[in-house]
Structure 1
Amino acid sequence: MAADSSHETSPLLPTDEQDESIQNDDTMGSNLLWKTGAVFGATAVGLGAFGAHGLKKHISDPNKLANWSTAAQYQLVHSVALLVASNNPVAGVFFTAGMTMFSGSLYALTLDNERFRFMGPVTPLGGLCLMAGWLALAFGKRGAATRWPRF
């Protein structure tokens, strides 16, 4: 005797509606990481330009200026990495945290080393997060470079 499947409430295979819901959740996270990467990239360019032009009027120490330049370069490179990682939320979170801690602490220490001395240990933690982001890309979900988020 065959079972009547017309009364099933939960199919074994996902429906189109369920597929769309899952895809929308992925797209929302991808869009957030994409936009975060774009904003971080724009601010990296602005902060790099400020360091090359405006900061020199206030800071003459070449080591401090080099630290600022390093912060801007790492932020810009990892902004692009965040765009690539927009479909890998683990890598995206690590890149975002890493840029914030690594570059942010270098910016703060360059502007006022005494006031922000407590941020010294934050810099290497940020570097570890950046490395973890790259490892998450290496060993995580693939396909981020071919599936750009929809806006």
Structure 2
Amino acid sequence: MNPSFVFRSGALLTATGISFGAFGSHGLRNIKPPLPETKISSFNTAASYLIYNGIALLAISFHPALLSATSKRFRLGAGLIMGGALVFSGSIFGLVLARDRFRWLGPVTPLGGMGMIAG
């Protein structure tokens, strides 16, 4: 995992979070039957975490130790942040959009959170 990949991944997570946040704030309110406000709030929280973790990846892509692309610690950290953000936010998006048909995603969400924390 090189710094360029970490930077691009951070930019993609941030852009996706912004896009999903806009959809959560505007598009989800027009779905019939309407979603409860708690579901819309959960969706927006997941979008926010994509943005936060995308910014974290952008920041660490400039870290001197990562620029050498030899530090296992920074490669592992970047991977955990990426994977954790995708699992955390993705499971929440799935729960909200599938209207709880995939209830098994609920217990998966904390695994993503642990990945983000570890990263």
Whether 1:49 and 2:22 are equivalent positions in the alignment is: yes
**Aligned-partner Cα distance in 2 for 1:105–1:99:** 10
Give the CA RMSD over aligned residues. Answer: 1.2
Rg larger in 1 or in 2?
1
TM-score, normalised relative to structure 1:
0.67
| SS in structure 2 at match of 1:114 | coil
Of all paired residues, the percent bearing the same amino acid is: 39
**1:67-82 equivalences in 2 (<5 Å):** 67-82=42-57
Letter in 1 for 2:28: L
Deviations 1:4-40 (CA, angstroms, capped at 9, x unpaired): xxxxxxxxxxxxxxxxxxxxxxxx6111111011011
Partner Cα distance (2:93, 2:35) in 1:
15
Mapping of 1:5-84 within 5 angstroms? 29-58=2-31, 59-84=34-59
Partner of 1:145: none
Which residue of structure 2 aligns with residue 102 of structure 1?
88
Q: Which residue of the partner structure matches residue 98 of structure 2? A: 112
Give CA-to-partner distance per residue, 1:53-93, whole Å, 9 cap, x none: 01111143011001001001111011101112222211110
The gaps in structure 2 that reach 5 residues or longer are 67-73
Give structure 1 stretches of 5+ with no counterpart.
1-27, 134-151
- 2:71 pairs with 1:85: no
Tell me the TM-score normalized by structure 2.
Answer: 0.84
> Which letter does structure 1 place at the counterpart of 2:50?
Q
Q: 96, 114, 117: which is aligned to 1:128?
A: 114
- Number of positions where the alignment pairs a residue of Structure 1 with one of Structure 2: 106
Which of the two has greater helix per residue? 2
